[in-house]
C-alpha cells in the first residue's frame, strides 16, 4: 500500500510540475490505465480538469479511458482468448465464470464498468476472454466510463479520503443507479442485447 501511495505522490508531483505537457502525459497515462492496473486514474482525470477545464478535461479523459479499456479488451481477446478457452474445458469453475461474464446484459456490463473502485484492467481482461461482442462492450464502455470520469473529476482527491467519507459513498451509489437507469434506457431504445 505504501509503494502505491509513493507512486501516486510521485505521479501527482510530476504532473503538477509538468506545465503545458501535463495534459499530454495525463492523457497517455489515462489510456494506459486500462492495461496497467496500478495507475491511479483519479490523479490523471484531476490533472486534466485542472489544466483543460471541467468540460474539456472530462471529455478528453472519457475518450482516453474508453479507448484504453477497449484496446485492452481487444488485446486480451487476441492474445489470451484461446488460452482461456482451452483452460475452461479442463476447469469447470473457469467455464462457469466465463459463461456468466459472456451472458451479462448490456445494463449489467455498463454498471460494472461504472463502479469507480473496480479495477478496469481485470474488467477489460475478463470481458476480452469471454464471448461478449465487441460492439456491445464498446457501448457499455461509453456509458459506464462517463460516470467514472464524472466521479473522479468531482472527487479530485485521494482514494483513502474517498473511502472515509460516507457522503461520497452515497454519491457513488446514486451515480451507479443513474448509470444503470441510463443503460436500461439505451438498451431498450437501441435493443443492444439482441443486436450484438
Residue 12: its pLDDT value, please? 65
Residue 7: its pLDDT value, please? 59
| Alpha-carbon span 83 to 109, nearest angstrom | 23
| pLDDT band for position 157 (cuts 50, 70, 90) | very low
| pLDDT band for position 167 (cuts 50, 70, 90) | confident
Of 70, 66, 144, 81, the closest CA to residue 109 belongs to: 144
| pTM of the model as a whole | 0.77
CA–CA distances in Å: residue 166 to residues 102, 160, 180:
34, 12, 21
Residue 15: its pLDDT value, please? 64
User: Cell 450484438, residue?
Assistant: 196
What residue ranges do the domains of the chain occupy? 2-195
Q: Which residues contact 89 (CB under 8 A, 6 or more apart)?
A: 95
| pLDDT band for position 60 (cuts 50, 70, 90) | very high
CA–CA distances in Å: residue 25 to residues 33, 95, 154, 176:
12, 39, 21, 29
Grid cell at residue 34: 486500462
CA–CA distances in Å: residue 177 to residues 10, 156, 170, 181:
34, 21, 11, 6
pLDDT for 76-121, tens place per residue? Answer: 999 988 888 788 777 777 788 888 888 999 999 998 999 877 788 8
- Written as one string, the DSSP assignment of 109-177 is HHHHHH-TTS-HHHHHHHHHTTT--HHHHHHHHHHHHHHHHHHHHHH-S-HHHHHH-HHHHHHHHHHHH
Residue 158: its pLDDT value, please? 47
Amino acid at each position: 500500500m505504501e509503494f502505491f501511495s509513493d507512486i501516486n505522490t510521485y505521479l501527482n508531483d510530476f504532473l503538477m510540475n509538468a506545465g503545458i505537457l501535463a495534459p499530454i502525459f495525463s492523457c497517455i497515462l489515462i489510456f494506459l490505465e486500462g492495461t496497467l492496473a496500478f495507475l491511479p486514474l483519479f490523479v490523471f482525470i484531476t490533472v486534466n480538469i485542472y489544466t483543460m477545464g471541467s468540460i474539456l478535461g472530462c471529455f478528453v479523459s472519457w475518450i482516453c479511458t474508453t479507448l484504453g479499456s477497449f484496446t485492452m479488451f481487444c488485446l486480451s481477446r487476441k492474445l489470451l482468448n484461446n488460452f482461456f478457452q482451452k483452460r475452461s474445458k479442463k476447469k469447470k469453475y473457469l467455464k462457469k465464470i466465463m459463461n456468466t461474464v459472456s451472458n451479462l446484459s448490456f445494463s449489467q456490463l455498463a454498471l460494472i464498468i461504472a463502479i469507480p473502485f473496480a479495477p478496469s484492467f481485470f474488467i477489460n481482461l475478463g470481458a476480452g476472454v469471454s464471448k461478449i461482442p465487441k460492439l456491445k462492450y464498446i457501448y457499455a464502455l461509453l456509458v459506464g466510463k462517463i460516470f467514472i470520469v464524472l466521479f473522479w473529476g468531482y472527487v479530485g482527491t485521494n482514494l483513502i479520503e474517498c473511502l472515509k467519507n460516507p457522503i461520497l459513498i452515497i454519491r457513488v451509489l446514486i451515480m451507479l443507479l443513474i448509470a444503470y437507469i441510463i443503460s436500461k434506457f439505451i438498451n431498450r431504445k437501441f435493443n443492444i442485447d439482441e443486436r450484438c
